[in-house]
Amino acid sequence: MYGKNVWMVADGYMSDSSKGEFVSHEAICVLNLSGEDANINITLYFEDAEPMKGIHAVCKNERTNHIRLDKIVTDDGRKIPKNTPYAVLVESDRPVVVQSSRLDVSQPEYALMTTIAY
């Protein structure tokens, strides 16, 4: 069996500044080889605000799901605030592998950062 049910990313941040045709964003990239579809729940933690809960996704078996954090909405209609540091907790009902990626296009020289979550 590959993966784990709980993953964490301590460094999250999306700039509201973009240059050119691309948009700065982060993604939680999920790989599911569990044998069944995985139901994903995401919780965000902030320095000076209550956690943001109610973010859900599905990653089909033997598929990937690149969950763009700039496009998701919570159950009660909230979006992740820009220019605000946060951490991410990813919980799955099936073992999955989680990678975090950030594309920063706030400068003329784009930057891409990616790491396997903990």
1-37 per-position pLDDT tens digit: 799 999 999 999 988 877 667 777 899 999 999 999 9
Residue 88 in this model has a pLDDT that exceeds 80:
yes
Predicted confidence band at 111 (pLDDT cuts at 50, 70, 90)? Answer: confident
pLDDT tens, position by position, 61-87: 999 999 999 999 999 999 999 999 999
Q: Output the 3-class SS for 24-53.
A: CEEEEEEEECCCCCEEEEEEEEECCCCCEE
pLDDT at 97 over 80: yes
4-116 to CATH, choices 2.40.30.10, 3.30.499.10, 3.40.50.10470, 2.60.290.11: 2.60.290.11
pTM of the shown model = 0.91
Query: What confidence score (pLDDT) does residue 103 get?
Result: 84
The DSSP code for 110 is -
Residues composing the chain: 118
Question: Is the pLDDT higher at 104 or at 36?
Answer: 36
Domain boundaries along the sequence of the chain = 4-116
Predicted confidence at residue 15, as pLDDT, reads 82
Give which of 57, 62, 94 is closest to 73, Cα–Cα.
Answer: 57
Question: Using an 8 Å Cβ cutoff, are 103 and 22 in contact?
Answer: yes
